[in-house]
Structure 1
Amino acid sequence: MNPGTDPTVLSHPAGPTDPDVSVLSLRDAKTKRPLALYANYSLHYVGGQTSGGVSADYFGEFARVMPSRLRAGEEFVAMMTNGTSGDINNIPFGSVRPPREPFEQMRLVAAKAADAAWHAERKMDPYRGDVRLSMNQRELTLTTRRPTKEQLDRAKEVLAEKDDKKLPPLARAYAGRAVALASGGEKLKAVLQVVRIGDIAICAIPFEVFVEIGLDLKKRSPFSRTIVVGLANGYNGYLPTPEQHKLGGYETWLGTNRVQEDASVLITNELLDMLAQIAKNK
């Protein structure tokens, strides 16, 4: 959940943002025509579709408009991946945004991201055809969070309540998650990947990752450019930092977050070790 936009109830942001739009571009070696463009941006999905509608959000709209930005042919493929956006969204806190039509905000965000990618692509010179490719994948075993006896008893009481009016919003949903965690496995295996494309590295994490984690990986990576992809190869809930766990936002609640509180530290260290390995492949 997010606070309202009333500035009188807001203090300060709980963390940083990552404004970078990371771009990889592929062109035909002979004709120089654009073949594909891969982008990454750390912003939660925007939403705002029609009631009951299904949408690829600004990621899909980016893929739709990018070919026209580059005057590319029908064979061109564009895609955008989710960065570390677990605590980054598009709500203008401290101000009031005018009402939007369904899908309008998605289009606005996608257009700005596509413009940024276009500017970046124009500066890519020269292109290289001799880049080294390599990859590393590991499974990291994490401990799942379990409700205490008191939490589990309360969850069962909530689920037994017939009248929803007597319950706080989302109480039944989180009670169900607590019961599921209590009866589920004690360990979770998270698939982590790193991919090397020349002097660029891509990290893949199967969580909704907080932006501080992505910024830390970029800073400590042995590669000059590092892209961090969240929600990759699966979804295992939110991944806050230990510091954010102390603040207690809803992303840290039992059921929204499923793994041990220091999981982000373990994942970061594992990925840095994997990056160091593929960086040695000259």
Structure 2
Amino acid sequence: MSADAAIQVKGLEKSYKNLTVLRGVDFDVARGSIFALLGSNGAGKTTIVRILSTLLKADAGTASVNGFDVAAQAANVRESISLTGQFAAVDEVLSGRENLVLVARLRHLKDAGKVADGLLDRFSLTDAAGRKVAEYSGGMRRRLDIAMSLIGNPPLIFLDEPTTGLDPQARIEVWQAIRELAHNGTTVLLTTQYLDEAEQLADRIAILHEGRIIVNGTLAELKQLLPPAEIEYVEKQPSLEDVFLAIVGDDGKDTTPAMTTTRTRKDQP
């Protein structure tokens, strides 16, 4: 394992009575990178996140986060991380700014209002700062949830299936927020069951299957596991996602383009 890794996991095991969830999981995460843990429902992704965030004890194996052992130095680990679950943990009665100010005060930060305003600007929520969160879209709520997770500037953030239940436009908003995290030096451990999400965001991707990491590498390295692509010319029809984004645009404004069929070169089977 790399000496400068933000997260190191070795031989992690976990069972619930007769159900074995983790069977010796090994991986490490480089500082300032986005690491995607990919797997189907029930693969054990959330169990790993709960162990790394000190919410659950492993049966065997070791894990360290930001240089601290998750079992022996749990308090230090908690000071180093933030965790965002599958559903936004925001107060819908409060405004977006009030949510941020509340968390900043709970963390005993000076000038909570300034901290909140900075995060609102960073996540493009300034115009909606005074609105109740109940009026926010799904993507706005998730961006606010991530912003709340960054109060106190934790060096690592765990995002457990952050786009579950979001519409295509909201997913793109969250993807942009996650890219911004890594750009600013935050280490991100992302769990997802969406292949395109891992492909779009991750520096490295690990596939968790039946309690084990069966492959771990960059997207380019994973693609090399398949036979070489054959070059052929095909008639490419737009996908439904292409149609959706072409019509509504990334910002939700109606662009209504003329839909055309294009001929393109296909380099992958």
Higher strand share: 2
Q: TM-score range, shorter-chain basis?
A: under 0.3
> Higher RCO, 1 or 2 (CA under 8 Å, sep at least 6)?
2
TM-score, structure 1 as length reference: 0.23
TM-score, structure 2 as length reference: 0.23
